Amino acid sequence: KQIDMASGTRGVAAATISLAVLLLVFCFSPSTAAAAAVPSIDATRTRHLPLRHGLLRGPESVAFDAKGNGPYSGVSDGRVLKWNGDALGWTTYSYSPDYSSEACTASLLRPETATEGHCGRPLGLRFHLKSGYLYVADAYKGLMRVAPGGGEATVLVTEVDGVPLRFTNGVDIDQVTGEVCFMDSSRNYNRSQHEM
Ligand SMILES: *[C@@H]1O[C@H](CO)[C@@H](O)[C@H](O)[C@H]1NC(C)=O
């Protein structure tokens, strides 16, 4: 926005520089602090939690619940999955009101890109730890909330000040006040119109 409003190349250059400074502040100070405490990631302690079904893909955000269970992640057919440990693997945790496995399970003839507008595409995830509600930023459905225990999500927000949400993307919660913040990546284009 800053760049759009700046008139002439000077303004653009100034805006670019201030953005670059901000990026430096945001990108480098945390990793410098982290680097002092943790020199590197110990690769022997990482784990791969593969999705079972061949055509499922695109795990996006990751979240843990108040008990530290999970992770939870949203996938390409519109569901949020929960990791239940090695014996059970990933199971369905929640889905949008329009989800059904018949309509939303991808096949070679019907890829998820053809159904995600209807089935939903969960991107950002965050639990409100005190209440156990899971907040879901769904690219097509808007901001949704899932009651403790999972199941069908309730759509909470589809527009702001009369402007429809087109690409709801990230969500986070102030765990002290319960305030929920979410992000809409575009006022003009939905997810299927972006090159991903
Ligand atoms: C994305 O937006 C375009 C243009 O408004 C529309 O034609 C298309 O149906 C939308 N796609 C989905 C999946 O909602």
Give the strand pairing for 134-138 and 163-164: unpaired
Residues having CB closer than 6 A to ligand 1 are: 117, 140, 190, 192-193
Please tell me the distance between residue 156's alpha carbon and the centre of ligand 1 in angstroms.
21
The answer to whether 139 and 121 have CB atoms below 8 angstroms apart is: yes
CA atoms within 13 A on the CB side of 51: 18
pLDDT of residue 32: 46
Q: How far apart are CA 17 and CA 80, in angstroms?
A: 39
pLDDT of residue 55: 79
The answer to whether 99 and 75 have CB atoms below 8 angstroms apart is: no
Residue among 91, 110, 94, 92 nearest 102 (CA): 110
What are the structural domains, with CATH classification, of the chain? 2-39 (no CATH), 55-191 (2.120.10.30)
Residue with tokens 């990793």: 31
Q: 124-140 pLDDT, tens per residue?
A: 999 999 999 999 999 99
Q: How far apart are CA 79 and CA 105, in angstroms?
A: 10
Please tell me the distance between residue 173's alpha carbon and the centre of ligand 1 in angstroms.
29
pLDDT of residue 73: 96
Q: What percent of the chain has pLDDT over 70?
A: 79
* Confidence band of 175 (pLDDT split at 50, 70, 90): very high
The answer to whether 116 and 140 have CB atoms below 8 angstroms apart is: yes
pLDDT of residue 9: 43
CA atoms within 13 A on the CB side of 84: 10
Please tell me the distance between residue 34's alpha carbon and the centre of ligand 1 in angstroms.
42
Which of 76, 187, 190, 191 best tests ligand 1's pocket when mutated (most atoms within 8 Å of CB)? 190
* Confidence band of 118 (pLDDT split at 50, 70, 90): very high
Which atom, in ligand 1's list, is nearest to the CA of 193?
Answer: 1
The model's pTM is 0.77
* Furthest CA-CA distance within the chain: 61
The answer to whether 70 and 49 have CB atoms below 8 angstroms apart is: no
Q: 28-50 pLDDT, tens per residue?
A: 333 444 445 666 777 788 888 88
Please tell me the distance between residue 192's alpha carbon and the centre of ligand 1 in angstroms.
7
Which DSSP helix (H) or strand (E) runs through 115?
helix 112-119
C-alpha torsion sign, points 180, 101, 103, 50: positive
Q: How far apart are CA 101 and CA 99, in angstroms?
A: 7
Residue among 122, 124, 138, 140 nearest 173 (CA): 124
Q: 73-116 pLDDT, tens per residue?
A: 999 999 999 999 999 999 999 999 999 999 999 888 988 889 99
pLDDT of residue 10: 47
Residue 188 reports pLDDT greater than 80: yes
pLDDT of residue 187: 81
Residue 24 reports pLDDT greater than 50: no
pLDDT of residue 53: 64
